[in-house]
Chains A and B, each alone.
Chain A
Amino acid sequence: MNRLSILFFSIAIILNLSCRKNDGNTSTDFEGLKDRALMDFVNVVALPGYEELKTKAATLNSKVTAFDANTTDTNLLAAREAWKGLRATWERCEGFLFGPVEDDEYDPETDTWPVSFNDLDSLMNSSNPLGVSDIEALSQRSLKGYHPMEYILWGKNGAQTAASINARQKQYLTSLSLHLKSQAEKLYDSWAPGGGNYGQYILNAGKGSSLYPKKQDAFTSILEGLLAICEEVGEGKMLEPFDAQDPAIVESPFSGNSVTDFKNNITGAFNAYEGKFNDDGVGLSELVRARNISLDNELKQNFNAAINSFNNITVPYEKAILEQRIQCRQTMDAISELSATLDGKLRTFIMQNIID
């Protein structure tokens, strides 16, 4: 075979390969992808997400403890930043709100809203002990978790200073941070092999898992998680104050962090779809891409459009609902479009293609 023949033959092979329609993979590859996506959901998305939550909850506790020991505005600022850091991770973990976080109620235990101002003030003005066990024993979840901390760290109008936080409030802050730390540890353990090992239910989907008898069940749960957070943000947290034009009913008004919260929620959902948290993995996205590349592109475009649209809201959400209504509306529309694609096309894809 002369050089010309070799060149011709090589080009023919390359052309043949490049012209082949991307049929995705053989069915064997697709089977492998399903297992890989479930494995990565546990080991690349959920466990690393909850581990980061645990780490950041410990950081918040140490910053609050430091503030309690040395009550300066610098230490207050550090505690606020730690609260925002933990909050960012939590909101991204809300992209997959199923399993122990819901079943064992870690979500309402730590993220109940609104804050009960009257009861919080009564608690501060009482002689009720404020140790962590006393906080855990309170009958109202609106006195526990992120938002009472936010209320004390920023104050009602965001003008809190270190000097204006009294000794009982600092003790309350410390116990609240310990409670959050303990909840984050338990949540991580509930998924970890050495603890509740919820991850096993996902890993064994379709292979004897009592909660997920079929692999399709596990992927549908991931889909329901994506839909739930889109609905919670687009039709609840954003829409209700927007419709009422009432800044008082925005969820994180003290820190002015609501837009960041919302954006992290949708980012968390995108991560769950792509099978990543900090590191990349294989997710539903690869499965879709293998069989319907245009749907995967559409979903990614929907996710990116929704996430990027938050950048157009340049003031805290409690102001935006009055001053930037068009931008707020555009973001809600983008989330709504994303939801529609998830609920329609992605659900159909799962039903038709992941048949165990």
Chain B
Amino acid sequence: MYWIVAILVGPALFMMCRKPGLFQDSGFDPRLSGGEASVFDETSKAFGHQVSGLNERDEQVHELGDGAIGATFVTAPAPVNPGLGPVFSNVSCISCHHNDGKGSPTAGLVNSSLLLRLSITGTDEFGGTKAVEGFGTQLQDLAVFGVQPEAKIEIGYTEQAFSFPDGETVSLREPTYNLVSPYKALPGNLLISPRMAPPFFGLGLLQNIPEATILSFTDENDRDGDGISGRPNYVYDPVQKKMMLGRFGLKANVATLLTQVAGAYNQDMGVTNYVFPQESSWGQTQLDALHDDPELPDSILNAAVFYIKTLAVPARRNVLDPVARQGENIFTQIQCAACHKPTMQTGIDLTLKTISNQRIHPYTDLLLHDMGDGLADGRPDFQANEREWKTPALWGIGLFEKTNGVPFYLHDGRARTLEEAILWHEGEAENAKQKFVQLPSSERKALIKFLKSL
């Protein structure tokens, strides 16, 4: 009798103790990069769709957030969208995040998408970057009429030729940044880090990846000996008031979407909000005399966050194309997939079923990796050192040409093609890059074709 019970209960207990794993690929449609939160659109508007399955109220909040993302701010007081500046990097979210995506690696123009983070050596009380007195941690290179910007940014490029063993050549451009006309003297130990605006879509899914999943990818001491480590960034979150795993920002320097979006309103546009109620120009000569903070209604900030959280991921194209499939195999064989992790499962979110428990293909591990001297910004950010960057997600990368005109890859937009972007990989990715370089031209093209299918 007891043995019958044991036979029946034993396997059940064994199965309960097993950690849930990923199902086989064969059971899923490979086009669905965002699982249920995928959208079939290959046009320039591909990044701007809401996930399916929202209830009527959520749809309204999403639409409200869409309007907020497009809103142009003006100098306060004003009846519509007051609060711009006094110093700022741009006037609206979409001015930098073109078509909910990226933009151009220029600064100081109305359509610029590049900003400079600033700091001096040392850390603040939370282990984060140390602000530059009179400038803060981000340079605002524009200002409302009659106010002096903190400084202007001059960007220069040096082209250098790269030759593949088969004789094919590529020109790589290396940027230099020069700060001119500062409103006050800049310190000698100034550290700067250029950052291009990243795309908005899929961030709700990335926020929903269990921390344990991300930590399972870490290999800080390279125990498996593949030359690739990967380590998390832990950052201070001003909302939760504690150290948390960094997921957003190009150095994984922000923990949550709320903090990311609120920080952008404050630092990029000079719009104060309930998370960051103090003007970015606090303590500076540019500060206005208005007592209107926070300038952004709480509901608008929350709607903007919800909008970004509920943007769908564009589905893949050409998944059955034999050349793209060949490129997919090469992607794994030359170890690109060691950091650009193809597949993972999101956690449970009872309020949003289409981003809950989804099998997704973001092609990132959300970890920091040493990318070598060529890409190093020389500016630590919490636990990210001066050579480390977070692995960017690759989903949607094949549509950047459509959504952005010239795609501009990497953290500072220096790469104009995917090939250039790969050739800038060094550090932990040096081995993978060398394997790419040694590939015959047809296989390099196959790899690019795969990337363009994402």
**Interface residue ranges of B42-59 to A (CB < 8 Å):** 42-45
Is A240's CB within 8 Å of the partner chain B?
yes
Considering only CB atoms, which chain A residue lies closest to B76 in the complex? A118
Q: Nearest Cβ in chain A — how far from B436, in angstroms?
A: 23
Considering only CB atoms, which chain A residue lies closest to B141 in the complex? A139
Whether the Cβ atoms of B91 and A117 lie closer than 8 Å is no
**Interface residue ranges of A134-156 to B (CB < 8 Å):** 138-143
**Interface residue ranges of A75-121 to B (CB < 8 Å):** 98-99, 102-105, 108-109, 112-119
Is B405's CB within 8 Å of the partner chain A?
yes
Whether the Cβ atoms of B41 and A115 lie closer than 8 Å is no
**Interface stretch (choices B78-86, B191-199, B369-377):** B78-86
Interface centre among B40, B79, B110, B404 (most CB of A within 10 A): B110
Whether the Cβ atoms of A98 and B74 lie closer than 8 Å is no
Q: Nearest Cβ in chain A — how far from B287, in angstroms?
A: 16
Whether the Cβ atoms of B72 and A141 lie closer than 8 Å is yes
Interface 0/1 of B360-401, CB less than 8 Å to A: 000000000000000000000000000000000000000001
Considering only CB atoms, which chain A residue lies closest to B405 in the complex? A103
- In the assembled complex, the Cα of A228 lies from the Cα of B404 at a distance in Å of 17
Contacts known (A240-B67, A249-B79); A119 close to B74, Cβ less than 8 A: yes
Complex interface: chain A residues within 8 A of B146 (CB): 119, 122, 126
Chain A to chain B contacts (Cβ below 8 Å), 14 pairs: A98-B45, A99-B44, A108-B111, A114-B72, A116-B84, A116-B144, A140-B144, A141-B95, A220-B41, A220-B42, A221-B43, A224-B44, A246-B79, A249-B80
A residues apposed to B, CB below 8 Å:
98-99, 102-105, 108-109, 112-119, 122-123, 126, 128, 138-143, 210-211, 213-214, 217, 220-221, 224, 228, 231, 235-236, 240, 246, 248-249, 351
**Beyond known contacts A210-B401, A224-B41: 6 more, CB 8 A cutoff:** A108-B94, A108-B110, A119-B144, A139-B143, A140-B145, A236-B67
Whether the Cβ atoms of A102 and B67 lie closer than 8 Å is no
Complex interface: chain A residues within 8 A of B79 (CB): 114, 246, 248-249
The 10 closest A-B pairs by CB, nearest first: A248-B79, A116-B74, A114-B80, A119-B145, A118-B75, A224-B45, A139-B142, A221-B43, A103-B405, A122-B145
Complex interface: chain B residues within 8 A of A240 (CB): 67
Whether the Cβ atoms of B91 and A235 lie closer than 8 Å is no
Complex partner residue of A114 from B40, B63, B78, B94, CB under 8 angstroms: B78
- In the assembled complex, the Cα of A221 lies from the Cα of B40 at a distance in Å of 12
Complex partner residue of A113 from B72, B142, B143, B404, CB under 8 angstroms: B72
Complex partner residue of B91 from A122, A128, A142, A221, CB under 8 angstroms: A142
Interface centre among A119, A128, A249 (most CB of B within 10 A): A119
- In the assembled complex, the Cα of A138 lies from the Cα of B91 at a distance in Å of 12
Interface 0/1 of B130-162, CB less than 8 Å to A: 000000000000111110000000000000000
- In the assembled complex, the Cα of A140 lies from the Cα of B306 at a distance in Å of 27
Contacts known (A114-B72, A118-B78, A249-B80); A103 close to B44, Cβ less than 8 A: yes
Complex interface: chain A residues within 8 A of B143 (CB): 139
Complex interface: chain A residues within 8 A of B182 (CB): none
- In the assembled complex, the Cα of A239 lies from the Cα of B397 at a distance in Å of 34
Is B402's CB within 8 Å of the partner chain A?
yes
Complex partner residue of A104 from B84, B91, B405, CB under 8 angstroms: B405
Complex interface: chain A residues within 8 A of B142 (CB): 139
Considering only CB atoms, which chain B residue lies closest to A109 in the complex? B110
Considering only CB atoms, which chain B residue lies closest to A115 in the complex? B74
Q: Nearest Cβ in chain B — how far from A13, in angstroms?
A: 46
Is B233's CB within 8 Å of the partner chain A?
no
Complex interface: chain B residues within 8 A of A140 (CB): 74, 84, 91, 110, 144-145
Interface centre among B42, B74, B143 (most CB of A within 10 A): B74
Complex partner residue of B402 from A126, A139, A211, A246, CB under 8 angstroms: A211
- In the assembled complex, the Cα of A113 lies from the Cα of B72 at a distance in Å of 7
Considering only CB atoms, which chain B residue lies closest to A249 in the complex? B80
- In the assembled complex, the Cα of A123 lies from the Cα of B91 at a distance in Å of 18
Task: Kindly state the interface size class of chain B when it binds its partner.
Answer: 35 or more
Whether the Cβ atoms of B63 and A142 lie closer than 8 Å is no
Whether the Cβ atoms of B45 and A114 lie closer than 8 Å is no
Is B99's CB within 8 Å of the partner chain A?
yes
Whether the Cβ atoms of B80 and A248 lie closer than 8 Å is yes
Q: Nearest Cβ in chain B — how far from A177, in angstroms?
A: 19
Is B122's CB within 8 Å of the partner chain A?
no
Q: Nearest Cβ in chain A — how far from B166, in angstroms?
A: 24
Q: Nearest Cβ in chain B — how far from A249, in angstroms?
A: 5
- In the assembled complex, the Cα of A210 lies from the Cα of B400 at a distance in Å of 12
Considering only CB atoms, which chain A residue lies closest to B146 in the complex? A122
Q: Nearest Cβ in chain A — how far from B65, in angstroms?
A: 12
Whether the Cβ atoms of B74 and A142 lie closer than 8 Å is yes
Q: Nearest Cβ in chain B — how far from A183, in angstroms?
A: 13
Whether the Cβ atoms of A116 and B78 lie closer than 8 Å is yes
Complex interface: chain A residues within 8 A of B98 (CB): 105
Q: Nearest Cβ in chain B — how far from A271, in angstroms?
A: 19
Whether the Cβ atoms of A119 and B75 lie closer than 8 Å is yes
Q: Nearest Cβ in chain A — how far from B41, in angstroms?
A: 7
Complex interface: chain A residues within 8 A of B405 (CB): 103-104
Is B77's CB within 8 Å of the partner chain A?
yes
- In the assembled complex, the Cα of A228 lies from the Cα of B77 at a distance in Å of 30
Q: Nearest Cβ in chain A — how far from B312, in angstroms?
A: 14
Complex partner residue of A123 from B42, B81, B145, CB under 8 angstroms: B145
Q: Nearest Cβ in chain B — how far from A191, in angstroms?
A: 14
- In the assembled complex, the Cα of A224 lies from the Cα of B42 at a distance in Å of 11
Whether the Cβ atoms of A138 and B44 lie closer than 8 Å is no
- In the assembled complex, the Cα of A142 lies from the Cα of B81 at a distance in Å of 11
Considering only CB atoms, which chain B residue lies closest to A99 in the complex? B44
Complex interface: chain B residues within 8 A of A139 (CB): 108, 110, 142-143
Complex interface: chain A residues within 8 A of B43 (CB): 98, 217, 220-221, 224
Whether the Cβ atoms of A228 and B45 lie closer than 8 Å is yes
- In the assembled complex, the Cα of A235 lies from the Cα of B79 at a distance in Å of 20
- In the assembled complex, the Cα of A112 lies from the Cα of B94 at a distance in Å of 12
Q: Nearest Cβ in chain A — how far from B400, in angstroms?
A: 12
**Interface residue ranges of B299-321 to A (CB < 8 Å):** none
- In the assembled complex, the Cα of A79 lies from the Cα of B360 at a distance in Å of 56
Contacts known (A105-B111, A126-B145, A126-B146); A98 close to B401, Cβ less than 8 A: no
Considering only CB atoms, which chain B residue lies closest to A250 in the complex? B80
- In the assembled complex, the Cα of A201 lies from the Cα of B70 at a distance in Å of 27
Complex interface: chain A residues within 8 A of B72 (CB): 108, 112-114, 141-142
Whether the Cβ atoms of A217 and B42 lie closer than 8 Å is yes
Q: Nearest Cβ in chain B — how far from A110, in angstroms?
A: 12
- In the assembled complex, the Cα of A351 lies from the Cα of B79 at a distance in Å of 44
Q: Nearest Cβ in chain A — how far from B104, in angstroms?
A: 9
- In the assembled complex, the Cα of A282 lies from the Cα of B35 at a distance in Å of 38
Considering only CB atoms, which chain B residue lies closest to A210 in the complex? B401
Complex interface: chain B residues within 8 A of A141 (CB): 72, 91, 95, 110
Whether the Cβ atoms of B81 and A114 lie closer than 8 Å is yes
Interface centre among A98, A114, A217 (most CB of B within 10 A): A114
Complex interface: chain A residues within 8 A of B80 (CB): 113-114, 248-249
Whether the Cβ atoms of B42 and A118 lie closer than 8 Å is no
Complex interface: chain A residues within 8 A of B404 (CB): 103
Whether the Cβ atoms of B145 and A114 lie closer than 8 Å is no
Considering only CB atoms, which chain B residue lies closest to A240 in the complex? B67
Q: Nearest Cβ in chain B — how far from A123, in angstroms?
A: 5
Complex interface: chain A residues within 8 A of B42 (CB): 213-214, 217, 220
